[in-house]
Amino acid sequence: GENVEQHPSTLSVQEGDSAVIKCTYSDSASNYFPWYKQELGKGPQLIIDIRSNVGEKKDQRIAVTLNKTAKHFSLHITETQPEDSAVYFCAANSPKNYGGSQGNLIFGKGTKLSVKP
Amino acid sequence: NAGVTQTPKFQVLKTGQSMTLQCAQDMNHNSMYWYRQDPGMGLRLIYYSASEGTTDKGEVPNGYNVSRLNKREFSLRLESAAPSQTSVYFCASSRTGPNTGELFFGEGSRLTVL
């Protein structure tokens, strides 16, 4: 089945710097790659996603890139702000499943981003 | 809108006790999920329900049961709690299937099993 590796596990940057989080996946059939942000005491929230028919997607200060050949995708945050401090999770869909009728998302283990003012 | 609501937010159990985590969504979503989150382990799927009346096992279903009571509600039951089930549990829902649509998460239920 699908396996998603996420690096680094912690990342500390100065306000205004850029932050990059990288993920690799194992199943070449995966075609949907979302990123979730989890603030302290809250549930994860989708911030951006990308599908396998595009290589890059941007939304203001956030961008995601996808390299299907290498099976890796990355989250880029520019001009970081203290409110970007959170845990970020990448995920990949798993067309294979655990015995049910549909595949599911497989999450990376998360990156704790700290933005220092 | 409330979105996804989970109860209780905190619970302490003794080994062997049972309990049910409740989840309700008000977004008319078809699919609902239960995840557990452990330090350094990310989010792992316990069970999901692609539509009302159906449930399927996820990655870590052992020790849990679920009920999709209606389109709005999806409950998770621990019949005989074990310390290994100490975790933060998240319920989520999505309009489309699990592979292609945004998941909306609740705020979590922190469970401690002594």
Which residues from B are below 8 Å from A34, CB to CB?
Answer: 102-103
Using a CB–CB cut-off of 8 Å, the residues of B that contact A are 4, 33, 40-45, 48, 50, 54, 56-59, 61, 90, 92, 97-100, 102-103, 105-108
Per-residue exposure over A78-109, b if at least 16 CB sit within 10 Å of its own CB, e if not:
eebeeebbbbbbbbbbbbebbebebbbbbbbb
* Best CA proximity match to A36, nearest among A3, A70, A4, A13: A4
For the stretch B15-50, pLDDT in tens is 999 999 999 999 999 999 999 999 888 899 999 998
From chain B, pick out residues whose CB is under 8 angstroms from the CB of A89: 42-43
Distance, CA of B55 to CA of A101 (rounded, Å) = 9
Q: How many CB atoms within 10 Å of residue A53? A: 8
CA distance A16 to B73: 43
Cβ contacts of A105 on chain B, cutoff 8 Å: 45, 98-99, 103
Chain A partners within 8 Å of B108 (Cβ): 41-43
Q: pLDDT, tens digit, for every residue of A15-39?
A: 999 999 999 999 888 889 999 999 9
pLDDT of B12 above 80: yes
Confidence of residue A101 (pLDDT cuts 50, 70, 90): very low
Residues in A whose CB is inside 8 Å of some CB of B read 6, 9, 32, 34, 36, 41-46, 49, 89, 93-95, 97-110
* Cβ contacts from A onto B, under 8 A: 77
CA distances from A12 to A21, A31, B12 (A): 11, 30, 34
Instruction: Indicate yes or no: CB of A98 within 8 angstroms of CB of B102.
Output: no
Q: In which band, very low, low, confident or very high, does the pLDDT at B1 lie, cut at 50, 70 and 90?
A: low
At residue B90 the predicted structure's pLDDT band, cuts being 50, 70 and 90, is very high
The nearest CA of chain B is from the CA of A57 a distance in Å of: 16
Looking at every residue in chain B, the average pLDDT score rounds to 93
If you count them, how many residues does chain A have?
117
Residue A66 neighbours by CB under 8 Å, 6+ apart: A33, A50, A52, A54, A55, A56, A72, A73
pLDDT for A111 equals 97
Determine, for residues A101 and B108 on separate chains, whether the beta-carbon distance falls below 8 Å: no
B99 vs A95: CB contact, 8 Å cut-off?
Answer: yes
Cα–Cα distance between A12 and A15 in angstroms, integer? Answer: 10
pLDDT bracket for residue B4 (50, 70, 90): very high
Is the per-residue pLDDT at A82 higher than 50?
yes
Whether pLDDT at B99 is above 80: no
